[in-house]
A and B are shown apart, each in its own frame.
Chain A
Amino acid sequence: MTKDDSIGTVTPKKFVFGGKGEVALLLDCGKELRPVTIEYETYGTLNKNKNNAVLIIHALTGNAHVAGYHSKDDKKPGWWDEMIGPGKAFDTDKYFIVCSNSIGGCSGSTGPRSINAETKNPYNLTFPVITIADMVRAQHRLMQHLSISKWLAIAGGSMGGMQVLQWSIDYPDCAESIIAIATTTSLSPQGIAFDWVGREAIMSDPNWDNGNYEDNTPEKGLATARMLAHITYLSDKSMNMKFGRRLGKQDNYNYDFTKNFQVESYLEHQGQRFVERFDANCYLYITRAMDYFDLAAKDNGNLDSTLSVAKASFLVISFSSDWLFSPEDSKKIVRGLRQNNTDVVYCNIQSSYGHDAFLLETETLTSLISDFLKCRYKESSNVNEHS
């Protein structure tokens, strides 16, 4: 079921590196990962100058399928379909869009549920603890594989935004521009705390079995982790508007502990849907990567100094009701960039949707991103013409 404004049917691709005789992926923890598979999708066409490539980076539980449909019978399009396609913010008529699944995930790229080439068994908890910088390092290998020397833009929200910021300082020459949405330079103690409770829910599920579960997955724990996390993606106001204190099918309280309120049914539904598509061990690893993320740690917390190497021009976007990755977090980024006289556009979009707004406020995002990208593309094309 494809819609007219959709990019249509897309096929995921795989890139494998770090096999025998090739350079492995060196991780922050000191270990090596090999071989590494990266699942990715591309949309649009890379132009002759190779200056129209845009990398999109997904959030915690996202995947490489950012737009279009995998088959004609596919009911749902990719996770950011409203933003990527012909005539959309990331206009596939103009730009070549790449989205890859971050390592540590469970949607095609190497992660804890992948088979360890040495033991022929799933890694599970023997998988090395990865960081946001490791994910970026793997994406950089994909970039080389695609023969792209500079992205026109790297864009991402939430955990994707963390990676986008990491790109800007680890590979400052690799991006004309950086689009960082609803993100932060370090996860707040509140964020770490929620991640901890989520992981505790998974690890205290008897099915988890120290990560060595097979068919009996720790569904209950993973669903609880998701329900908890989902609350942090909403706002008090959006929950009030969406559910209020409304009851489910019945007219009165049940006077028991089953689902009475609509909000309870909603969360349960979210938890259930999540376990169908996501893996518990991956959830542990990826939330840990977010906990460890602290862009300025290497400079003893001096963000101004960390951002001094960034060369791209930035578009930073936050949402007024986001309390997980608050506008204050984004303002810190803007402040650090300004201290270095780095070009930055910042908008705090008025929204009541909380952190989820980055997937919902597509109209304002489209306006900001399409105009910002147009200018960067024009600049980049002018430079190419003159050189």
Chain B
Amino acid sequence: MLTNIAERYRSDLYKIIDLIPEKARVLDLGCGDGTLLHMLIEQKKIKGTGIEFSQDKILECVKKGVPVVHGDLNDGLDEFQDNTFDFVILSRTLQSVNRPDLLLAAMGRVGRKVIISFINMGFFKSRCQLMFYGKMPITKTLPHTWYNTPNTHLATIKDFQSLCSELNMYIINKIPFGNKNNFPARVWPNMFSSTCVFAITAQAPEKL
């Protein structure tokens, strides 16, 4: 049952909601039709805003009463001052921006905590496709072919962790999960989790 719901609603959204306390200030990057922010506003009374690229999705956000700004994540987050938000969220999008490192650093600047759901290229199904078929992997979470994929910066959980330490960002929380069963994902995340939710910060942990 839980798996069904998770599959239907993109399980990482629920993980993200769990991580956010009431009345937090939240920025959702690539907020889509505003589903997550709307849920957070309703359930956690947060003060939130989103950035979205698609005009149709912006109209959906406004319909839900979710504040949203039309923008391109590739343009950076210069419009926001340091520490404007308690949480900055990026759901499954880091791999498709021009410079994931710059965006991640900017998120760390404007938010006290950064929550990222990360698509893991080290997932065993991806590894197997490359290993046994000698072809670029196509999975549920990565359904595109190599020539038309928007996901131009695919990486593994290990790669992501290296980037975090390069940027002097600390990982506070790491919630890996697999497609069906979460147990192996917890034991060996980089092999058995297809996505992983991270909570990280650019600030010294004692200041949080």
B-contacting residues of A (Cβ < 8 Å)? 313, 334-335, 338-339, 341, 343-350, 364, 367-368, 371-372, 375
Contact = CB atoms under 8 A, between A and B. Distances in A.
Interface stretch (B56-64, B125-133, B181-189): B56-64
B67 A347 contact: no
Interface string B140-154: 000000000000000
B55 A349 contact: yes
Interface residues of B, number: 18
Contact of B55 (A338, A364, A375): A364
A318 to B, nearest CB: 9
A367 B55 CA distance: 11
Contact of B84 (A341, A343, A346): A341
B84 A368 contact: no
Interface string B42-75: 0000000100000100110111010111110000
B55 A347 contact: yes
A349 B55 CA distance: 7
A350 B69 contact: no
Most chain B CB within a 10 A radius of its CB, from A341, A364, A372 = A341
Nearest to A338: B79
A350 B84 CA distance: 30
B56 to A, nearest CB: 10
Contacts of B55: 347-350, 364
Contact of B69 (A341, A345, A371, A372): A345
Interchain residue pairs A-B with the least CB separation, the first 10: A335-B79, A375-B65, A338-B79, A346-B69, A371-B62, A371-B63, A348-B70, A347-B70, A347-B58, A367-B59
Contacts of A368: 58-59, 62
Given A364-B59, A367-B59, A339 B69 contact: no
Contacts of A371: 59, 62-63, 65
Contact of A344 (B58, B63, B67, B84): B67
Contacts of B68: 345-346
Contacts of A338: 69, 79-80, 84
Interface in B61-103: 61-63, 65, 67-71, 78-81, 84
Contacts of B69: 334, 338, 344-346
B182 to A, nearest CB: 38
B135 to A, nearest CB: 37
Most chain B CB within a 10 A radius of its CB, from A338, A339, A372 = A338
A350 B59 CA distance: 13
